Structure 1
Amino acid sequence: MSRAFTSVEQRIDAWAHRRLERLEPGGALRRGLVEFTVFVLKQAWACIFGAAMLTALVAARLWYPDDAALARTDALVIAAVAIQAIMLLARLESGREVWVILLFHVVGTAMEIFKTDVGSWSYEDGGVLRIAGVPLYTGFMYAAVGSYLVRVFRLFELRFERYPPIWATAVVAIGIYANFFAHHFLPDARWVLLALVVALYARCTMHFRNHRTRPWRRMPVLAAFVGVAFFIWIAENVGTAAGAWIYPDQADGWQPVSISKLVAWLLLMMISVVLVTFVYRPQPPVRSDDAARPRG
């Protein structure tokens, strides 16, 4: 399935390519710095939805008046809708990608309603744009994770060696989602599910390239999953510090989110990974005779 850049990304890529060609001549250190810079910038571009949401959360806490006629939570909902609209109107996301993001949005909101009801975490009171006490901007935080994953697929032309069967990953993802609800009434199966994730992806290697002029790189896909979960945990610390939501142990004052939440985020992220594979089917690595062909 095609993973072509959006029209905006095509223009950015062409602009960047012309400038990178001027920097390409030089020693190994200079070429390495160029490649690292491209990697960081592409990651930042992939995170644009999440970064915009996090900025809105922090700005609302720092500068939004507590006594404003429009509740802070409602203002955040409007801001989140505006961010998503801009992403679509500016063609920063393709239509097929939006369906995955929307589905993860719904999956996340359903879990939020249940989790807040059982007291796993809570949100600021006030506002009318909420369902069962959950502000509607929360779904957009899950959508930000989905947005990042679909954009990374395109931006780094991800390919996979020994990717597990899609049906098996889907079964595990369903089990993960069910456990987020069931562990409140039944024994927690998260460690069993984590073991299944490791078993499924242990032999899988991710191939990617930072730029069309650079060689293909590879890394264990499990290492990539852990890295993404870690940065989501960092964002969660920022979000809770901004008061977007709080855990019970933060009720008397903010403290860092437990590092154990990394496991929860890694498992939850697997649901988004599986959803993304329904749009971008995992493709095998590019053969050496294909690498030189221009990308369509």
Structure 2
Amino acid sequence: MKREYVKDFFIFGWKQALCCIFPVIIFMTLALSKVVELPFIQRYDFILLVCILAQLILVWTKIESVDELKVITVFHIIGLCLELYKVHMGSWLYPEEGVTKIAGVPLYSGFMYASVSSYVCQAWKRFDLHLINWPSKYMAILVSIGIYANFFTHHFMVDVRWILIALIVILFYKSHIRFTVSTETYRIHTILSFMLVAFFIWLAENISTFLGAWRYPDQELSWRIVHWGKISSWFMLVIITIIIVAELKRIKYPKQVKGA
């Protein structure tokens, strides 16, 4: 039995790596463009071009489906709108030049949000995810809207993220996710899965800012670790991502999303 767990551990790691294909492409592009001088194209424009080509190749090779591309596109738009607002409010900035920048925001930035949804879509099919005791469609959508709205409104109103987190705990405290690695099926509490994904995105954010993808105000003079409080922001964003993917999956695969 222990041998099977060890085998599943390595298979789990391999499948997780496959789920991260698109995020890894973005990281590699950030790293390459950081150390290699590009002669005919601005760095931000180069990253955008690579992201577009990567998406086309992933669909062409059937690693991602057309339906998954639609979901990823939705998150690109959601993320880009958030970026435009946050940069305008001075939450962070993109210091380099680029032809494909709008109001100080490079268009490639939306792909960083899209990469999160790409990971969720890949994990869904590679691990045959089943959501158990999932909240009702209406409650899940309302929570998503509330979370997304708070990213905007907390700049001029009270930040209600902790109220939203309390609501999330109430909605998901009975929920768990079933996933299959090889033949064995495991389960993890839904909120714990949100937290783990948010933590790893925070680690990725530290790498991204180190590679100059964007900068926070306290990183202008020199790079420093991103404040741990940002994990709560990613926690909220992960919830929006998984809820939207789950609700779309519920339409086509209702047996994989079971209500409480």
TM-score (norm 1): 0.83
Distance in 1, Cα, partners of 2:236 & 2:58: 27
Say if 2:6 is the partner of 1:37.
Answer: no
Residue 135 (structure 1) aligned with residue 106 (structure 2): yes
1:63 lines up with 2:36 in the alignment: yes
Paired position in structure 2 for 1:77: 48
Q: 2:199 aligns with which of 207, 230, 252?
A: 230
Structure 2: stretches of 5+ with no match in the other structure: none
Q: Which residue of 1 aligns with 2:94?
A: 123
How far apart, in 2, do the equivalents of 1:29 and 1:172 lie?
40
Counterpart for residue 269 of structure 1: 238
Query: Could you report, residue by residue, the CA deviation over 1:125-184 in whole angstroms, capped at 9, with x for unpaired residues?
Result: 311112211111101101100000011111111112211112101101101111111111
The residue identity in structure 2 corresponding to 1:254 is W
Change beyond 3 A, Cα 1:279–1:64: farther
Whether contact under 8 Å (1:153, 1:280) holds in the other structure is no
User: What is the aligned counterpart of 2:255 among 280, 283, 288?
Assistant: 283
2:21 paired residue among 48, 58, 76: 48
Per the alignment, in what secondary structure is the counterpart of residue 32 of structure 1? helix
1:32 maps to a residue whose letter is Y
Match of 1:221 among 183, 187, 190: 190
1:111 aligns with 2:82: yes
Q: What is the aligned partner in structure 2 of residue 16 from structure 1?
A: none
Q: How does 1:157-196 map to 2 (within 5 A)?
A: 157-196=128-167
Cα distance change of structure 1 residues 264 and 285 upon mapping to structure 2, 3 Å threshold: closer
Helix, strand or coil for the counterpart of 1:283? helix
Q: CA deviation at 1:56?
A: 0.7
Deviations 1:50-97 (A, max 9, x none): 1111111111112234xx331111111111111111111111111111
2: CA distance, partners of 1:174 / 1:116: 21
How many corresponding residue pairs?
255
Question: Alignment RMSD, CA only?
Answer: 1.5
**8 Å Cα contact 2:177-2:189 kept in structure 1:** yes
- 8 A contact 1:233–1:261 mirrored in 2: yes
Write out aligned runs for 1:239-258 (5 A).
239-258=208-227
TM-score by length of 2: 0.94
- 1: CA distance between counterparts of 2:255 and 2:30? 37
> Is 1:86 aligned with 2:57?
yes
Decide whether aligned partners of structure 1 residues 64 and 262 sit closer, same or farther in structure 2, where only a CA change above 3 A counts.
same
- Per-residue CA deviation, residues 8-61 of structure 1 (Å, 9 max, x unaligned), is xxxxxxxxxxxxxxxxxxxx3332221111111111111111111111111111
Q: SS in structure 2 opposite 1:231? A: helix
Q: Distance in 1 between matches of 2:22 and 2:42?
A: 23
* Deviation for aligned residue 1:257: 0.5
What are the residue-to-residue correspondences of 1:145-164 with 2, within 5 Å?
145-164=116-135
Amino acid at match of 1:78: L
User: How far apart are 1:285 and its partner, in Å?
Assistant: 8.6
CA contact (8 A) 2:134 2:257 kept: no
Checking the alignment, whether the CA contact within 8 Å between 2:116 and 2:241 is kept in structure 1 is yes
Q: CA deviation at 1:216?
A: 1.4
Could you list the runs of 5+ residues in structure 1 that have no partner in the other structure?
1-27, 287-296
State the distance in 2 between where 1:112 and 1:156 align: 31
With over 3 angstroms needed to count, the CA separation of the structure-2 counterparts of 1:238 and 1:80, relative to structure 1, is same
Larger radius of gyration: 1
Q: Is the 8 A contact 1:52 1:83 kept in 2?
A: yes
